Amino acid sequence: MNLKLRSITEPGNLHLERLTLKAEVALNIGDFVVAQTGWAGEQPSIQIFHAIWFPYEEVKAGDLIIIYTRQGNPSKKLLKTGNNTAHFFYWDLNKTIWDANFRGAVVMNAPEWNAQPTNELVRPTIA
């Protein structure tokens, strides 16, 4: 996996709570989904509580992806090294999520997918 989970900072503080990831190679973050899942024993459970699917955007090796729990607008900031960028995203939630018990973070590489709206998938009931 070329997008690595790095840290959760300030769990329980809505203004500062965030999940940080790091791009190990140049990649398009639109190919990734990050989710907060349930946690059972040593692995994620099938429960997904929150998820974010990034917009298609190229990032460089060493760039940081920062997801704040609170509301905000996506933005970027050049890191002090000058070579990399921090990309900021927001879950737009009104309460903290990373201080909950039995939760974990999962990053998924999903470059191929398909989707349809509900109204196109609902089949009429046969009487």
Query: Is the pLDDT reported for residue 127 higher than 80?
Result: no
| pLDDT, tens digit (0-9, with 9 covering 90-100), for 79-99 | 998 899 999 999 999 999 999
The pLDDT value recorded for residue 124 is 81
The pTM of the full predicted model, rounded to 2 decimals, is 0.90
**Domains in the chain with CATH codes:** 3-121 (2.60.40)
Measured between alpha carbons, how far is residue 115 from residues 91, 112, 118, 120, 121 in Å? 21, 11, 9, 10, 10
Q: Assess contact for 84 and 66: CB atoms under 8 A.
A: no
